[in-house]
Structure 1
């Protein structure tokens, strides 16, 4: 057991501010992912664009939460687990938000008017990955349900593998059937950003597993 782990038992509960902030960050990412799913399922492009703009606003909220976590990290000598793991988890959650927002921004800026089945499938997988991520992060505050956390991480890894398969097939189809080079580039970049969002969920799972190894 690390010295930092021993110290945490002597920290007043009202100073344990990190877990609520982690949960807020994860919940915000889930909201972004749900809005992305709703947007790509929306037939009206104008409404989709409004949702994309809302995702951008939510990403700004996530940035504020990230800033608050780093501020607390600079103010608190005693932390619930290793400082580098807090920083890594914060950065990983923020990366998920960045790629969800990046995907939405590209669909907005590139004027993607046809929402393909791979875009919908990848958006669904992002939401599933973010939901599992939120479940795992909620369990971190007491580490009583290590099995539940580990299961969430396994499911996130499976979701990322599924996203790889969807992305590979979609890009292969683009090169096979799409004759408009500009359209091909636009859709490939959107698909790549969506797939990378699931990679970022896996990065969160990897950090969570590291925390489990050190503290469970």
Structure 2
């Protein structure tokens, strides 16, 4: 068996990482859209159903992340550095965790009239995970590196915007909300949402690191 034949045996196995990462970002986009819909929903039963769907997708994401780590342990050949694969999987998983965490707090704290900034942050998360999906789906061929870079720049901008929205929202809560318990509840939800955008930026930073190394 010549060298080229050996390479053909191994190369297809590394493609599984692209597929798994693409599936993860597909799930994140679904979670973001469901969160936005839940935040803006007025009927309690509708919101409860949306929260259940988000929880289910969080479990789906956990399974996909686990598969990435299993493949990382079993595959000799990987499409890029093992450390980058691990970090990208971890940061994407963090995004899912904080989206789910925000949804869970909305449900447990029985926030029926969310602060307007909660909806704004949910919208920013939707935009950020959509950009992550664009960037991750470009990794497979590495032909349109500008698209990955543009997605990362957009995510950084969205995270900065989320910081501003969060700061203004917390200031507004302290200024206008008289019930201390409500302030604490809404601040925790806002913090989970803002942290989700931080994790999107972390994932974008990994994408930038990958394309710098392999461009």
Report runs of 4+ in structure 1 exceeding 6 Å deviation.
7-10
Tell me what 1:4 maps to: none
1:111-146 deviation line (CA, Å, top 9, x unaligned): 111022101100000000000000000001111111
**Cα distance 1:85–1:180, how it changes in 2: closer, same or farther (>3 A)?**
same
Unaligned runs of 5+ in 1: 1-6
2:21 pairs with 1:19: no
**Cα distance 1:15–1:164, how it changes in 2: closer, same or farther (>3 A)?**
closer
Instruction: Quote how far apart the aligned CAs of 1:16 are.
Output: 1.7
Which secondary structure does the structure 2 equivalent of 1:202 belong to? helix
**Cα distance 1:100–1:8, how it changes in 2: closer, same or farther (>3 A)?**
farther
Matches within 5 A, 1:96-107: 96-107=95-106
Q: Distance in 1 between matches of 2:58 and 2:204?
A: 20
Q: Distance in 2 between matches of 1:184 and 1:82?
A: 44
Tell me what 2:72 maps to: 73
2:85 pairs with 1:91: no
Aligned length: 210
Q: Distance in 1 between matches of 2:7 and 2:164?
A: 42
Instruction: Quote how far apart the aligned CAs of 1:156 are.
Output: 0.2
RMSD of equivalent CA atoms: 1.5
8 A contact 1:8–1:79 mirrored in 2: no
**Cα distance 1:177–1:213, how it changes in 2: closer, same or farther (>3 A)?**
same
8 A contact 1:39–1:47 mirrored in 2: yes
8 A contact 2:114–2:186 mirrored in 1: no
1:91-119 deviation line (CA, Å, top 9, x unaligned): 01100000000000000111111022101
Report the TM-score, using the length of structure 2 for normalisation. Answer: 0.94
Q: Distance in 1 between matches of 2:172 and 2:33?
A: 27
1:21-53 deviation line (CA, Å, top 9, x unaligned): 000001001100000011111111221122112
Tell me what 1:60 maps to: 59
